[in-house]
Structure 1
């Protein structure tokens, strides 16, 4: 969660949880991944985007539980969100990624899309057209 919100979080704030479960599927999208263990489904990943109506670019973000990282889940979520966004006419994605989060940076660069990047205060600011 630190890699996503850039700060340690003990409990998810209510406003973030509310935004995560009240999706309009027009301006925002959430794709989640579950595993079933001992008959219980558990969420282990999520990919989201939220469109900025002024630019028609969507801020995209991912969460993958630590012990499921490195298995291609982030890449799968990225490709699926790109497919959905393209079908809905989204112009592109933006993202902020901590410099230390090399795995997530790799997921973005693996798309093969031309990316504009800037860097400040330990955070890469990424932008790319779909």
Structure 2
């Protein structure tokens, strides 16, 4: 099976490298969930993100948000109050990435029963 591509054959190798890197990072569980949380809830404090991203450690959430900030996906705002108030929100770039991955959620919803049936069939087979 061949998948049609909408990009030229003489693709800039920097684009290919970026796509590989971004897919690897965004396909990361915590990045995907954090992206979803910020898309749904808007600007949030770190502690609120931690509550909404179930199961993430403080260290992993910190690393995830820093990498998302480095990639231009989130903006970190430090408010000059005591104690310091730090909030995170998606950039326009972050929103466009969230829109791109919205298709994955739609695909999963559309194919849930087929995947569940395939898994049940696989799990029901005897493994040699």
TM range (shorter): under 0.3
Higher helix share: 2
Structure-2-length-normalised TM-score: 0.27
Higher strand share: 1
TM-score (norm 1): 0.26
